[in-house]
Chain A
Amino acid sequence: MSAAKTPYLYFEPDKAGRLVRLGLMARRAVEGFITGLHRSPHKGFSVEFAEHREYVPGDDVRTMDWVAWARSDRYYVKQFEQQTNLRAHILLDVSASMDYRHAAGQTKFQYGCFLAACLAYLLARQQDMVALVAFDRSVRLRLAPGSTPAHLDRVFTSLEKIQPGGATAVAETFHTLAETIAKRGLVIILSDLYDEPEGILKALQHFVYRKHQVILLHLMDPAELEFPFTQITQFVDQETGQRLQVDPRTVRSAYQEEVRSFIEGYRRECGDRNIEYLLTPTDTPYERMLLQFLAWRKAARR
């Protein structure tokens, strides 16, 4: 079967289509402005009973609970939980470190773009509003939330225009974003997290404090995890340009230990903060990664 034709660089409809039935649901209440799939923090009129409230003049008499009146001789109105649509912000790290791939395949940036496009499509398709933010040391691109096909088009084409580069200032950028995203919603972060972990974790806590649900997809190239180099090599930092000559065989195990400790630190700290953390090696096809992730979330939600 041939792949479906697409005018976009980072959107593959056939792969996204396989994920549609799983959907991306918020795990807790989010604020929206239309009725959707997600629980809203506001009580209104819906099919899902929430609580009784004493009648006050002006209330719609259709909401009065006559059974309660018959039992208690007092007037109550029934309140139902509102279901709303979701505002999702996809935060894509476009710093220079994301422009890395060791072997053939995608750079972390390209992988992140694919993920961002696919997620945007999934969210829009379920009437959720999706916003795109690209950042390095500052916000380089910000698309306001939207769910229309035209908005999706803007998202896809914007991704194509972004070129990775520049140093990372993850923590600072996240704090700014946390302050500027008004309504509580879903924040999906696609980054390699190459900044001070302490600062990043504080910034993530900031999102949580603002009642956002945070999903952190930690993008890592397999070479960053395994360090498969064998010859004496001069490594050049992609962000700072600094150089370091290393005989990889002598430091490999120590390097792997450091990376493992780095990842475990995030996994643990995110768990403590109710942030969903997922290590995402770029050699795993993104649609498979999303398929597994969404299936797992769906099962966990039940």
Chain B
Amino acid sequence: MMLGLGFVTPWLLAGLAAAAIPFVIHLLASVRAKEVRFPTLRFLRMSMEKTARRRRIQHWLLLLLRAAALALLAMAAAEPFQNAVGGWQAGQRHAAVIVLDNSLSMSVKREEGTCLDIAKRQADNILGADDAPALAAVAATNGRTGQVQLSADLEALRKAVRAVAPSAGRAALPGLVEQAAGVLAKADCPKKTIYLLGDVQKISYEELATARELARAEGVYLLVVDVGQQGAANAAVTDVEISPERLANQPVGFKATVTNASPRARQVRVVLRGQGGQSEPVTKDLAAAGSAGDSGTVWLSRTFARAGEVTGDVAILDDDDLNEDNARRFHITVAPAARALVVGGPGDPNDSPKLSPTWCLEASLSPWAAGEKAWPIERRTVAAAGMADNDVAWADIVFLSNVPALTETQTRTIERFVKGGGTLVVAMGPDVNVAAYNRLLAPAGLLPGELGEAVGQVGADADAMAVTAIDVEHPYLAGFYASASEFPRVLVWRHVPLRAAGANVRTLLALPGGRAILTVHPLGDGRVVCCTTTASPKWSDLAVRLGPPMWIRMTLSAPRTMRSPESYPPGETVEIRPGAGAGAERVSVTLPAERTGATAAVENATVRMTERGAVATFRNTTKAGVYAWRAEGKGSDRETPSGEFVVNAPGAESRLAKFDAGEFVAMMRAKGFARVYAGASVDQVHRAVEADSEPVPWWDRVAAAVILLLVGEAMAANLRRSRERAL
């Protein structure tokens, strides 16, 4: 970068020749040296030899200092000035990259239109002005921008500006700004500028301080045009959590978080919409933004009458300055019922039927007599020997209760079932053949680890151990009781110890010393639950304390269809699975029409085959809303797989906490970014840069310093002479 040093009267720099004066004086003094007769030169020679080096240094240092002082005086007379930041001069050849912030918050409505509309007008003004850049590029913070490339075709760039659409995501600034800085640094123009037109939201813009390439880029200015509005009125649904049990005719819970970003407290009405219906509005009072209570939770519930895919939203009914975040969409699959297969072992014929390994599970999963009451669980019971592939394929969850051993074929069937997304619950019992389990199930990952021989005694006089560790955070146990201390005391008389558990095994219940009673671990797309004691009250009282609600919760959350994501964040890659049998070659995706404000755009994604079936990858998820997809190809005439997925804006973007221009510049300057300016318009930012680039006269200070230096040296010389005279 140029130093930015100039002179008001450069011809006075001729005075720099004055720097030669000390040298001339020195030479003249040498020529005119007074001749003095002296008795002997002996001591002088010896002294000069001794001081030769020091004299040389002092001599030249003094000469140079005097020359430098005179040169500075000459420069001071020429009235130098320095551009405080350097490089910005009006009329210079100019290269610019215009970065348009099209994040969600740019959709805030102002009198002149949305913030994005204003930003686009400002960008258009830059490209259409008389002093428009010679080379320019346009890039949007969200969406497919590709590589930033400078172009001299400003008309094409103006069209690109007009085409920039709002998106639902956060502004991704550092990468884009660094890329722009890199492109500009290589540009052959003296003036290089990144115009960032946005609303200066803290959440995104403070990340600019990490754009070190910008700081390093030589001579590149970052001019931020703040088109945002302080104090916009906005309330948003910033998050929705949906309960995992999504079954027809069963209430599905929705926990919605609503946030007030307005400067004043407000009341919002929240509803749940989907499958053609709308819930009663729930009213929520929210405090002003930034104070306690500016965010709250609304609990909503809905029972879906039909199984199948449901697209809906949780929405605030009241309008505000940013309506785009008033609704949070979801897309879920409601299963008709959860299907449980209970595979029971023989049991002891002498035992009470209620100690049977299957009876307790059956009673838990089917508490009502057939037809007595609608119940979301369908259950089948088979003997271990009779367990067929069809039984397993039918089920969402398989319970192995006191099964002595599985054949190798059965083991493979179960393994495929779990890896394909099913849930396996393995409960121990007196008939379990530990060696067979260790030989077949453990290597297949169907056990958390190898098992040891059962320990503990069963009987009236036998000692029991109490479960002391309960993982109350796990979805299988969460919410039953308010805290771990309130859980009923579970006693265990006998259990099969786990020799060593794998790394991904989570222990939900454990005896003192960490001996696991209930574990869960993932396997493929499914999961395996292992109960090291019996599912019946034979070895423990788990079956009468925690068992029934736990088995029901496991079963209700088991259906694989319920596990697809209910929504995606903007910019996320979505994998669409059209199904292997459909023969689909591509998937056409219809973008959310309400955002484009025109005919819904359609984009295609190619289908490829993977180990887990046919998959189409779709990346253009910048807009929030419902995306509809449809498989197309050879098999489309037979069956046309189709579906939907939804994209929601990140909740944090709705908070609308913004910097003011000065605050932003101060933050950036504090991080070492010198050439950053901000203002409410392009003109204002230009004026700020130009004001900073005006000549800073410092000649008077330099002149004063030089004169002081010369006076000081003269005084020192006089003092020296006085001392010498005194001698």
Which residues of A does B touch, CB under 8 Å?
97-98, 100, 108, 192, 194, 221, 224, 226, 228-240, 242-247, 249-251, 254-255, 257-259, 262
Contacts and interface: CB of A to CB of B under 8 A. Distances in A.
Contacts of B38: 100, 235-238
Given A232-B29, A234-B36, A235-B36, A244 B47 contact: no
A258 B580 CA distance: 106
B43 A232 contact: no
Interface of B: 29-30, 33-48, 50-51, 54-55, 58-59, 720-721, 724, 727
A230 B39 contact: no
16 contacts: A100-B38, A194-B40, A231-B33, A232-B29, A233-B33, A234-B33, A234-B34, A235-B37, A235-B41, A236-B37, A236-B38, A237-B41, A251-B47, A254-B48, A255-B44, A258-B47
A234 B44 contact: no
Which of A221, A226, A237 counts the most chain B CB atoms within 10 A?
A: A237
Contacts of A224: 39
A236 B44 contact: no
Contacts of A233: 33-36
A248 B40 CA distance: 15
A258 B51 CA distance: 12
Nearest to A262: B43
Contacts of B58: 250
Nearest to B58: A250
Contact of A237 (B40, B54, B720): B40
A245 B38 CA distance: 12
A239 B40 CA distance: 7
Contact of A226 (B30, B41, B48, B727): B727
Interface centre among B36, B38, B48, B59 (most CB of A within 10 A): B38
Given A246-B48, A250-B58, A192 B720 contact: no
A239 B724 CA distance: 27
- Give the residue among A192, A231, A254 with the most B Cβ atoms within 10 A: A254
Contacts of A232: 29-30, 33-34
Contacts of A229: 36
Given A250-B59, A251-B51, A251-B55, A97 B40 contact: yes
Nearest to B34: A233
A237 to B, nearest CB: 5
- SS class of chain A's interface: helix, strand, loop or mixed? mixed
Contact of A238 (B39, B51, B720): B39
Nearest to B45: A244
A244 B48 CA distance: 10
Given A228-B724, A254-B47, A255-B44, 4 more contacts: A233-B34, A238-B39, A249-B720, A249-B724
B174 to A, nearest CB: 61
A60 B46 CA distance: 67
A190 to B, nearest CB: 15
Contacts of B48: 244, 246, 251, 254
B727 to A, nearest CB: 5
Contacts of B720: 249
A101 to B, nearest CB: 10
A247 B55 contact: yes
A114 to B, nearest CB: 18
Given A236-B37, A249-B720, A254 B50 contact: yes
A244 B41 contact: yes
Contact of B44 (A226, A231, A244, A249): A244
Contacts of B34: 231-234
Contacts of B727: 226, 228
B37 A251 contact: no
B624 to A, nearest CB: 83
Contacts of A238: 37-40
B36 A221 contact: no
A192 B42 CA distance: 13
Nearest to A168: B40
Contacts of A235: 36-38, 41, 44
B41 A255 contact: no
Contact of B30 (A192, A230, A244, A245): A245
B277 to A, nearest CB: 104
Nearest to B54: A250
Contacts of B54: 250
A19 to B, nearest CB: 28
Contacts of A97: 39-40
A259 B43 contact: yes
Nearest to B720: A249
B36 A230 contact: no
A163 B493 CA distance: 136
A255 B47 contact: yes
A104 B449 CA distance: 115
B724 A258 contact: no
A134 B58 CA distance: 46
B43 A221 contact: no
A235 B41 CA distance: 7
Nearest to A230: B724
Nearest to B48: A251
B275 to A, nearest CB: 102
Nearest to B32: A232
Given A245-B33, A250-B58, A258 B41 contact: no
A250 B30 CA distance: 15
A294 B48 CA distance: 39
B531 to A, nearest CB: 99
A252 to B, nearest CB: 8
Nearest to B38: A235
In this complex, the member of B30, B36, B43, B721 whose beta carbon has the largest number of chain A beta carbons within 10 angstroms is B43
Kindly name the residue among B46, B47, B51, B54 whose own CB sees the greatest number of chain A CB atoms within 10 A: B47
A241 to B, nearest CB: 9
A242 B43 contact: no
Of the candidates B39, B50, B55, B59, the one having the most CB atoms from chain A within 10 angstroms of its own CB is B39
Contacts of A245: 30, 33
Contacts of B42: 194
B43 A258 contact: yes
Nearest to A240: B41
B36 A236 contact: yes
A231 B67 CA distance: 20
Given A230-B721, A255-B43, A258-B47, A250 B36 contact: no
A65 B37 CA distance: 69
Contacts of B47: 251, 254-255, 257-258
The residue among A194, A243, A247, A251 with the most chain B CB atoms within 10 A of its own CB is A251
A225 B40 CA distance: 12
Nearest to A258: B43
A108 B46 CA distance: 23
A251 B36 CA distance: 16
A135 B62 CA distance: 47
A237 B34 CA distance: 14
A258 B33 contact: no
A171 to B, nearest CB: 15
A231 B717 CA distance: 12
Nearest to A231: B34
A100 B39 contact: yes
Contacts of B37: 100, 235-236, 238
